[in-house]
């Protein structure tokens, strides 16, 4: 039978489990070394989602309620690609975020900022045949958190993606260009490689801007998953 495996991720492009500046890692990172495994069918396969998993307004976070969501409408779009730049069609993309005031619609979020009855802050799409996705949403706000004195998270949108197999699974955060909080954010700065950090910052995009309606931001996502040349394994 044939065995295949994914390339290793280049050094510095992924955060380590332990990152003291992000205080919550201190009791939640393993202290034993991870065990490096061969890639079996259990890791090279993964769940497949379809259009039945997506609701009508799941790609437009501004239209999930009867009234208008408050804030600056934006369009976030891009492509989901493998390391070789090839499109990943049919990838499930889940997003969640704060409202324009920097408040999550979540029982744990106690930030003293208003909720918006017309904004939930979550969405889902499947990438098309060219790996493209597109959301209409509200620009999220910055918010304070308890990591250190006067800590603020820069505005961000959480992205969760399912690619071709389990090892393609990615949860990340998209940031906005020019945000003055970016150099101070321990979550973004947990990524050692500067170029990799910069790839988490979306690009302002005139081409997807809707005149008179919403500004566009572009964010491409690369999933691990280029299969190396399969190697014949003799049982």
Partner 1 sequence: MTTPPTSSQTVGPFFHLGMVYLERDNFVAEGVAGERITIRGKVLDGDGQPVPDAVLEIWQADSTGRYPSEFSPRDSASARFLGFGRIETDDHGEFRFTTVKPGRAPAPDGSLQAPHIVVTLFSRGLLKPLRTRLYFPDEAGNVDDVVLRQVPPARRSTLMAAPAAKRGAQNVPENVFDWNIVMQGDGETVFFDY
Pairing mode, strands 170-175 and 156-162? antiparallel
Q: Which stretch binds partner 1 (CB under 8 A): 66-74, 176-184, 204-212, 227-235?
A: 227-235
- Near partner 1 in 19-48, by CB under 8 A: 19, 22, 24-32, 34-43, 45-48
Residues 6+ apart with CB under 8 A from 195: none
Residue 212 CB, shortest distance to partner 1, in Å, is: 29
Q: Does 64 help bind partner 1 (rule: CB under 8 A)?
A: no
Q: CB-wise, 108 or 211, nearer to partner 1?
A: 108
Q: Which is nearer to partner 1, 54 or 215 (CB)?
A: 54
Give, in order, the Cα–Cα distances in Å from 135 to each of 67, 124, 168, 186, 232.
18, 8, 22, 27, 43
Q: What is residue 29's DSSP assignment?
A: S
End-to-end CA distance of the chain: 8
For residue 198 the two structure tokens come to 């910069």
Per-residue contact flags (x/-) with partner 1 for residues 69 to 88, judged by CB under 8 A: ------------x-xxx---
Give CA 107 to chain center in angstroms. Answer: 22
Nearest-approach distance from CB 68 to partner 1, in angstroms: 20
Q: Does 94 bind partner 1 (CB under 8 A)?
A: yes
Helical (H) or strand (E) element with 86:
none
Minimum CB distance to partner 1 smaller for 212 or for 229: 229
- Residue of 132, 158, 199, 218 marked active site: 158
Instruction: Tell me how crowded residue 122 is: count the other CB atoms within 10 A of its CB.
Output: 16
Q: Which of 20, 72, 106, 177 binds partner 1 (CB under 8 A)?
A: 106
Residue 148 makes contact with partner 1 by CB under 8 A = no
User: Catalytic residue numbers?
Assistant: 104, 143, 153, 156, 158
């Amino acid at each position: 039978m044939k065995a295949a495996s994914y390339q290793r991720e280049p050094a510095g492009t992924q955060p380590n489990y332990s990152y003291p500046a992000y205080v919550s890692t201190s009791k939640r990172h393993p202290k034993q070394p991870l065990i490096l495994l061969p890639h079996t069918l259990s890791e090279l396969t993964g769940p497949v989602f379809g259009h039945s998993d997506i609701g009508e307004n799941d790609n437009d976070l501004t239209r999930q309620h009867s009234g208008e969501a408050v804030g600056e409408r934006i369009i976030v779009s891009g492509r989901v690609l493998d390391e070789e730049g090839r499109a990943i069609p049919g990838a499930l993309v889940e997003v969640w975020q704060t409202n324009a005031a920097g408040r999550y619609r979540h029982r744990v979020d106690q930030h003293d900022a208003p909720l918006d009855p017309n904004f939930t802050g979550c969405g889902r799409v499947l990438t098309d045949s060219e790996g493209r996705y597109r959301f209409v949403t509200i620009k999220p706000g910055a918010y304070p958190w308890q990591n250190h004195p006067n800590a603020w998270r820069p505005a961000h949108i959480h992205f969760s993606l399912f690619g071709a197999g389990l090892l393609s699974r990615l949860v990340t955060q998209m940031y906005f260009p020019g945000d003055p909080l970016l150099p101070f954010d321990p979550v973004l700065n947990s990524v050692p490689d500067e170029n990799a950090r910069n790839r988490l910052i979306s690009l302002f995009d005139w081409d997807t801007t809707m005149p008179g309606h919403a500004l566009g931001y572009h964010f491409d996502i690369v999933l691990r998953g280029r299969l190396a040349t399969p190697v014949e394994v003799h049982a």
